[in-house]
Amino acid sequence: MLTSFFAALLGTSIALAYPGPVSNPLALRSADSGRVCGTVVSKDTVTAMESRFEEKLAQIARVKGDRDTVTVTLQVYFHVICRNQTLEGGFLDRGYIDNQMDVLNSAYANSSLSFRLERLDYTEMAEWFDNASPGTQQQTNMKQALHLGSGADLNIYTVGFTSGERLLGYATFPDAYRSDTKNDGVVLLYSSLPDAGPPPFNEGMTAVHQVGHWLGLYHTFQDGCDGEGDYVYDTPSEAEPAFGCPEGRDTCEAPGLDPIHNYMDYTDDSCMNQFTPGQAQRVLDQLNVYRTF
């Protein structure tokens, strides 16, 4: 039985959840934690997405010309899915959500982006808490029931990932929004929020990383040392994901050390602290093409 027992619209109003795809990705494993990022796309898929993106970006530039850089505020609909009303069961009180919003805003402050919590709701549903993951019926049901807003609005879901692959989180890319609007959003392991679980992934950087995917960013190690990489000009090439915080690592012959401090790598939360100017520009371009604001 679906029980939506509490919801808050900026802390004030109550809403009911009504019971209602991204395919299972090839996930890369963290040797340290046994947790994975589920947002992994094939080279062919990336090539196709980038071709569409470049064509649409050129069309917009011809029509609108250069746009002044302004701060873009994105509304966030935060959906907490829990097994029961305990922290171990996935229940996150408002303080955890506020702390996560602070981390998001701090991480994206130099990207001309800000995030505003529009709505917070809670759904006690063990089936979704345990089994919602890429490609599952539980994920589809959860998102069909709870997804709110438009393409410019961010839906975040927290779950337990207690069945199947041990995920930290996953996200959809902007390119997919119009073909599957209800699937759009970010799904996080609840204990990845600030102080909601044990280290090394408990400072809120999983959300920063997955929101990066939702905004059109790839992993810094995309395509390894060859090809187009992550399609950002100022992130050094990286042969494979970095774990822990391996200072001075350099896995490619191209200039620059591996970007282990970048939010789009796989390092520990305490190691992550930067986006590049090129990533900030790509985010704004992706928003302009795919998410009206």
Spatial separation of the C-alpha atoms in residues 27 and 39, rounded to whole Å: 7
Type of residue found at 110: N
Which residues, including other chains, have CB under 8 Å from residue 12's CB and lie 6 or more apart?
Answer: none
With 0.85 as the threshold, say if the pTM is over it: yes
Residue 20: predicted pLDDT: 28
How confident is the prediction along the chain (293 residues), in pLDDT tens digits per residue? 444 444 444 433 333 332 223 333 334 444 445 577 999 888 889 999 999 999 999 988 766 655 566 789 999 999 999 999 999 999 999 999 999 999 999 999 999 999 999 999 999 999 999 999 999 999 999 999 999 999 999 999 999 999 866 899 999 999 999 999 999 999 999 999 999 999 999 999 999 999 999 999 999 999 999 888 999 999 999 999 999 999 999 999 999 999 999 999 999 999 999 999 999 999 999 999 998 75
Which residues, including other chains, have CB under 8 Å from residue 119's CB and lie 6 or more apart? 7, 8, 9, 10, 15, 77, 78, 148
Dihedral sign of CA atoms 130, 134, 136, 137 in order: positive
Contact (CB, 8 A) for 160 and 60? no
Q: Give the count of alpha carbons within 13 A of 155, CB side only.
A: 23
Q: Length of the chain, please?
A: 293
Please enumerate in sequence order all residues whose Cβ is within 8 A of that of 106, keeping only pairs 6 or more positions apart, or say none: none
Per-residue confidence (pLDDT) for residue 292, from 0 to 100: 75
289 CB contacts (<8 Å, ≥6 apart)? Answer: 53, 56, 57, 60, 174
- 142 contacts 90 by C-beta, under 8 angstroms: no
| Boundaries of every domain in the chain | 3-218
Top CATH class of 3-218 equals alpha beta
Two tokens, residue 13:
């109003």
- 113: β partners: 72
Q: Which is nearest to 236 in space by CA: 218, 259, 219?
A: 259
Q: Which amino acid is at 24?
A: N
Which pLDDT score, from 0 to 100, does residue 119 have? 98
- Contact present, 168 and 199 (Cβ < 8 Å): no
31 Ramachandran zone, left/alpha/beta (phi>0; psi -120 to 50): alpha
- Cα separation, 189 vs 196, in Å, equals 10
For residues 161 and 189, the answer to whether their CB atoms sit within 8 Å is: yes
pLDDT of the residue at 63: 63
